[in-house]
Structure formats: structure tokens, C-alpha cells
Amino acid sequence: MRILVVEDEASLAKQLTSSIAEAGYAVDHAADGERADFLAQTEPYDAMVLDLGLPKIDGLTLLRNWREAGLATPVLVLTARGSWHDKLRGIDGGADDYVSKPFRIEEVLARLRALIRRTTGHLTPELRAGSVALDPRQSRVTLDGAPVKLTGHEFRVLSYLMHHRGRVVSQAELTEHIYAQDFDRDSNTVEVFIERLRRKLGVSFIETVRGLGYRIE
Ligand code: CA
């Protein structure tokens, strides 16, 4: 899963991006509205965290433009403390949820997980497929109840496939959702991650659909 953080305040942006990355997501950051607009329109994010007060283009204008253009990516808006006006404008502008500043980072993470869960059609916080369970709350994976150690990239591949269970996901799509923008990508490595996951979770757990991609049933 890949997240875009749009926040112009450097220390807050750093806190958000590092905590979201630690929670197992690929993260990109935009410090102004123009950069955010460019990234949102060209990169496929699973969710975005959007500050409203931004240089160049403000967050609310961005949000309205995106929604008018048909961009459906879930958006968590950051609002000024106690500003019910901001909250209303954000939600009316197409935000899916909001967090008021100052916030606890745990709340942002919990709301992001819930947004991603809802938009991918999952009702329970823990994702299950056969004997494998993935808990995004703890970035934890178990096989028959026993913890399985995964690298960050392996976790992101598995998380994306499990969030989209039953659907064939192409190698290109996986690549776009597991790497941050500045990461040196090599689509062949997806195959390597899949092989490692099969070794850890069972050979038949991830199915290869020839010419199309991968699927978890
Ligand atoms: Ca701001």
C-alpha cells in the first residue's frame, strides 16, 4: 500500500512520513499544492493525507479538483485545531475522514487503515486468506497462528494482494503500490518477493495467472 502525505510544515511532514513508513507503507511526500497535484494525478496511491493550508494551491481546492476530475483515492484531511469550519469544508469538498491538529500519530494511522480497509471492501481489521492472517494494526503476519517474519517489501506485496484478494494483480500494478516515488524500481524484483513469500507461506498461496499477474484466493 502506498500513501501520499501532503504537508508543508517540515517537522510534521517528517513525523508523518516516517511513522507511516514504519507502519509498513510506501510513502511519498509533497510540501506544496502543485507538487501534490502532480503526484496525485500521476501516481496510484491507496490513500492520501492532506493538509488544508498549503503553499501554491490550498488543500481544499486540490480536493475539489481531484473529485471533479474523478480521482477517487481516499483522502484523510488534516484540519486546524477546533476549526469545525475546516472539517465541514473538507468533508463537503470530498474528504473521506479528518484528523484535527495537533493529533496523535496513532490516530492518523488508525484512520488510514480504516480508510484503506473500507475502500478495498474489508469489514474486519484483520485480513485472512486460508491459514494466513495479516494484521495491518501491527504490520504482522501469521501462518496457522505462528508469526512469519517478512521484509518491508514482502509485507507490502502481501498486504496489497490480500487487500485485493480474489483479483488478479499485475506485476506493474504491484510495483506501483510497493515503492515510493524516489525508489529505484526494478519490476523483476516483484517476482523475487513473490518467490520469497511462497517459501514462507506455502508454494500455492500466491497463484501466478500466466500473462496477467498474481492472485490470492
Ligand atoms: Ca499547512
- Ligand 1 mean position, distance from CA 5 (Å): 12
Q: Separation of 114 CA from ligand 1 center, angstroms?
A: 24
β-pairing verdict for 26-30 and 97-100: unpaired
Q: How far apart are CA 100 and CA 107, in angstroms?
A: 10
For the stretch 12-71, pLDDT in tens is 999 999 999 999 999 999 999 999 999 999 999 999 999 999 999 999 999 999 999 999
Question: Residue 201: in which H helix or E strand, if any?
Answer: helix 188-201
> Separation of 25 CA from ligand 1 center, angstroms?
23
Q: Distance, CA 137 to ligand 1 centroid (Å)?
A: 27
**Rounded Cα distance, 41 and 54, in Å:** 17
Ligand 1 centroid, distance to 171 Cα (angstroms): 36
Q: Cα of 13 to ligand 1 centre, how many Å?
A: 10
* Cβ 174 vs Cβ 190: under 8 Å: yes
- pLDDT in tens for each of the 217 residues of the chain? 999 999 999 999 999 999 999 999 999 999 999 999 999 999 999 999 999 999 999 999 999 999 999 999 999 999 887 788 888 888 888 999 999 999 999 999 999 999 999 999 998 999 999 999 999 999 999 999 999 999 999 999 999 999 999 999 999 999 999 999 877 776 668 999 999 999 999 999 999 999 999 999 9
Output phi, psi for 31, to 5 deg.
Answer: -100, -5
Which residues crowd ion ligand 1, with CB under 5 Å?
A: 8, 51, 53
Q: Mind listing the domains of the chain with CATH numbers? A: 2-119 (3.40.50.2300), 127-215 (1.10.10.10)
Which residues partner with 208 through β-bridges? Answer: 214
Give the distance (Å) from ligand 1 centre to CA of residue 6.
Answer: 9
DSSP state of 214: E
